[in-house]
Amino acid sequence: MKKYTMGIFAVLIAIGLYSFESTNNTPLKAVDSLYWFQVATNQGANTSFLNSQVTFISGPSTIIPPGTNCTGTSKKCVVGFSQSQLVAPGYTTLNDNMGLNPQIPQHVGRERSTL
Amino acid sequence: MKIQSSLLTEIISSLLILVWTYAAISKLFDFNGFILVLQSSPLLKPFAYVVALTLPLMELIISFLLLVPKYRLKGFASSFYLLLLLTGYIGYMLLFATNLPCNCGGILKKIGWSGHFFFTTILTGLAAAGWLIHKKNKYLIAINPHNGGHSLRQG
């Protein structure tokens, strides 16, 4: 049993660390299940977005993905659109593309400080 | 010397157990978030569900292998190969990916991808060192001069 002591202690530390971390880190969730996009650099102040200004991350999901460099509180960083907004010119619904028309996000999932 | 090196492997294996267990727990308890991150990775997107299921399982198995002295050599070897793969993946993402999503837990969230690369590189080195030292210890033959020179196989 003695030879397992350090290993078991390491497992207990890992569980303790995770418990401590998880209480300070609840995942961000949206009310609706949306398609999440990363907003391109310099586009964070926009109200609506074209396909060229965003990059698909994931979805549909209520969990807001982390995005890239999303630290701050003033500019859009990760935005969510409903599937009805993701429509191609031929009226085909898409999952990872904004289509041609500019769209206003249903939800701003994460923000950053810079544009 | 033998005592020192076995203490060293004990410390390295405990450190790796800590890292693997923490990594597995954080992935399993935030399973949906982990899948989302994998789906947003250009390299892993097609295998997101397979990786999401197998990676935490592998991490737990490696922790178990490192915990039990009998299987520790295999634990070090598996740790080395998995960390090498992870370091390669992070390196590839740093060099070629435009979007770098990360749901890494704890301190890794704060140090970013470059810090993560540095962290896994050090762990890969530690796993390799643990593997070599443990292998050397396992096959070390000690001669006891007070016992008619009989050899005692260690390990």
Q: What is the pLDDT along chain B (155 residues), one digit of tens a residue?
A: 566 778 889 999 999 999 999 999 988 887 877 887 787 777 888 888 899 999 999 999 999 999 999 999 999 999 999 999 999 998 988 888 766 666 555 556 667 778 889 999 999 999 999 999 988 887 665 566 666 555 555 44
> Mean of the pLDDT values across residues A58-68?
84
Listed range (A90-99, A104-113, B5-14, B125-134) with the worst mean pLDDT: A90-99
Q: Average pLDDT over chain A, rounded to whole? A: 82
Report chain B residues whose CB lies below 8 A from the CB of A55.
98-99
Percent of chain A scoring above 70 in pLDDT = 86
Interchain pair B101, A22: CB under 8 A: no
* Listed residue (B77, B91, B148) closest to B121, CA to CA: B91
Looking at residue B53, what is its pLDDT? Answer: 92
Percent of chain A scoring above 90 in pLDDT = 10
Looking at residue B78, what is its pLDDT? Answer: 97
pLDDT at A1 over 50: yes
Report chain B residues whose CB lies below 8 A from the CB of A3.
69
Nearest CA in chain B to A28: B33
Q: How far is B73 from chain A (nearest CA, A)?
A: 14
A60 part of contact set with chain B, CB < 8 Å: no
- Among the partner-chain residues B25, B69, B99, the one whose CB lies closest to the CB of A14 is B25
Looking at residue B155, what is its pLDDT? Answer: 43
pLDDT band of residue A41 (cuts 50, 70, 90) is: confident
> Mean of the pLDDT values across residues A76-95?
77
C-alpha to C-alpha distance for A72 and A78, rounded to whole angstroms = 12
Looking at residue B142, what is its pLDDT? Answer: 56
pLDDT band of residue A103 (cuts 50, 70, 90) is: confident
DSSP helix/strand/coil, B151? strand
C-alpha to C-alpha distance for A71 and B125, rounded to whole angstroms = 32
Q: DSSP for B33-56, please give it.
A: HHHHHHHT-TTTGGGHHHHHHHHH
Q: DSSP for B72-107, please give it.
A: HHHHHHHHHHHHHHHHHHHHHHHHH-S-------TH
Q: How far is B90 from chain A (nearest CA, A)?
A: 15
Looking at residue B109, what is its pLDDT? Answer: 63
- This model of the complex carries an ipTM of 0.77
Q: How far is CA B140 from the centre of its chain?
A: 25
Report chain A residues whose CB lies below 8 A from the CB of B19.
14
Looking at residue A27, what is its pLDDT? Answer: 62
A72's torsion region: left (phi>0), alpha (psi -120 to 50) or beta?
Answer: left
Q: Which of A8, A12, A17 to mutate to test the interface with B (most CBs of B within 10 A)?
A: A17
DSSP assignment letter at B69 = G
Q: How far is A32 from chain B (nearest CA, A)?
A: 16
The answer to whether the peptide bond before residue A60 is cis (omega within 30 degrees of 0) is yes
Interchain pair B15, A10: CB under 8 A: yes
